[in-house]
Amino acid sequence: MEAKKLNLTLNIWRQKNSKSVGSFAEYKVQVSPDASFLEMLDELNNTLELKGEEAVHFESDCREGICGTCGLVINGHAHGPLPKIATCQLHMRNFKDGETIWVEPFRAKAFPVIKDLMVDRSGFDKILQAGGYVSINTGGVPDGNAIPIKKEISSLAMDAAACIGCGACVASCKNASAMLFVSAKVSQYALLPQGQPERYRRVERMVKVMDDLGFGSCTNTYACEAECPKGISVTNIARMNRDFMMAKIKSKEVEV
């Protein structure tokens, strides 16, 4: 049943570790158009391992576009040329026989390369640990239906909550800004009644950690939205900016 294979030239970023200098290495591969991009890399790794060479290191897990583990810059685009998918969902039928493909890690000052195509995105978690939650303990909460929420509001919160934390927004931003990622979490809680008590304190703390970690600022190019695999909207950034301004007025913990 397998369709005719594609002959491709891959230029893949190889880098031994975070301290070494990396460079592109060229590989010729043959691949089924029904295979996914990462399955092509699996096959390449199989042939490298047979030759006793180290596999091209890249990260992936669910391969269903939801865990956010994978992330490659393919021909200059985070997660490849198609809109609204993660790297693992990209299939080889979207490439032409004979094509040359450039594969790089997500690059940003705040995402140092670990090895080959693996990067360290732990900065994202540090931001979430600075208030990206509702402060409630297990047990002792009201009945689920005691908090009615307008369907439209709930739906908007879900749109924001759909972020998979992959970091494509940072990788595609010329300033390596994390505003789309941070604003998605801020928005989810800002929209919902559960998030109100800590609304302004939260945005202040999260933005501060984001800045401290060396993520850049937003200059409204919307590259992040264009490359986001989940279509997270830049309106979240506007909402976060509004809340951040309000926080300066409302919060008792203002630091000038």
Partner 1 sequence: MAKLDSKVPEGNIAEKWTNHKFNMKLVNPANKRKYDIIVVGTGLAGASAAASLGELGYNVKAFTFHDSARRAHSISAQGGINASKNYQNDGDSTYRLFYDTVKGGDFRAREANVHRLAEVSGNIIDQCVAQGVPFARDYGGLLDNRSFGGAQVSRTFYARGQTGQQLLLGAVSALNRQVDKGSVKLYLRREMLDVVIIDGAAKGIVVRNLITGEIEKYSAHAVVLATGGYSNVFFLSTNAMNCNATAIWRAHKRGAYFANPCFTQIHPTCLPLHGESQSKLTLMSESLRNDGRVWVSKKKADMRNPADIPEDERDYYLERKYPSFGNLAPRDISSRAAKEVCDEGRGVKGGDAVYLDFKDAINRLGQKVIEERYGNLFEIYETITGENPYKSPMMIYPAPHYTMGGLWVDYNLMSNVPGLFVLGEANFSDHGANRLGASALMQGLADGYFVIPYTMGNYLAGDKPTLVKTDHPEFEKVAKEVKDLTNKLLSIKGKRTVDDLHKQLGRIMWDNVGMGRNEAGLKKTIEQIRQVKEEFWKNVTIPGSGADVNQTLERAGRLVDYFELGELMALDALDRKESCGGHFREEYQFEDGEAKRDDENYSYVAAWEFAGENKWNLHKEELKYEYVKQAIRSYK
User: How many Cα neighbours within 13 Å face the side chain of 109?
Assistant: 14
Kindly state the DSSP code that residue 216 receives in the 8-state scheme. B
**Nearest alpha-carbon partner for 14 in 27, 29, 1:** 27
Asked if 141 interacts with partner 1 (CB under 8 A), we say yes
Asked if 136 interacts with partner 1 (CB under 8 A), we say yes
Provide, rounded to whole angstroms, the least separation between the CB of residue 97 and partner 1. Answer: 17
Asked if 255 interacts with partner 1 (CB under 8 A), we say no
Nearer to partner 1, 42 or 225 (CB): 42
Could you tell me if 40 and 93 are in contact, meaning their C-beta atoms sit under 8 angstroms apart? no
Residue 98 one-letter amino acid? G
**Contact map string, positions 4 to 33, toward partner 1, x by CB under 8 A:** -------------x-------------xx-
Asked if 256 interacts with partner 1 (CB under 8 A), we say no
Give the interface segment with partner 1, choosing from 6-14, 84-92, 215-223, 247-255 (CB under 8 A): 84-92
Which of residues 154, 212, 242, 254 is near partner 1 by CB under 8 A?
A: 154
Asked if 253 interacts with partner 1 (CB under 8 A), we say no
Kindly state the DSSP code that residue 86 receives in the 8-state scheme. -
79: left (phi over 0), alpha (psi -120 to 50) or beta: left
Parallel, antiparallel, or unpaired: how do β-strands 77-78 and 118-119 relate?
unpaired
Asked if 77 interacts with partner 1 (CB under 8 A), we say no
Tokens for 53?
A: 């060479």
Give the interface segment with partner 1, choosing from 19-27, 96-104, 161-169, 241-249 (CB under 8 A): 161-169
Number of residues in contact with partner 1 under rule CB under 8 A? 82
**Nearest alpha-carbon partner for 227 in 157, 175, 180, 160:** 180
Which of residues 134, 213, 226, 246 is near partner 1 by CB under 8 A?
A: 134
Give the interface segment with partner 1, choosing from 6-14, 89-97, 99-107, 219-227 (CB under 8 A): 89-97
For the chain, the farthest-separated pair of C-alpha atoms sits apart, in whole angstroms, at 66
Rounded to whole angstroms, the Cα distance separating 55 from 67 reads 22
Residue 189, SS3?
Answer: helix
Asked if 112 interacts with partner 1 (CB under 8 A), we say no
Rounded to whole angstroms, the Cα distance separating 185 from 192 reads 11
Asked if 63 interacts with partner 1 (CB under 8 A), we say yes
Provide, rounded to whole angstroms, the least separation between the CB of residue 213 and partner 1. Answer: 14
**Contact map string, positions 197 to 236, toward partner 1, x by CB under 8 A:** ----------------------------------------
Residue 77, SS3?
Answer: strand
Report 34-53 residues binding partner 1 (CB under 8 A). 34-36, 38-40, 42-43, 45-46, 48-50, 52-53
* Residue appearing with tokens 């709930």: 154
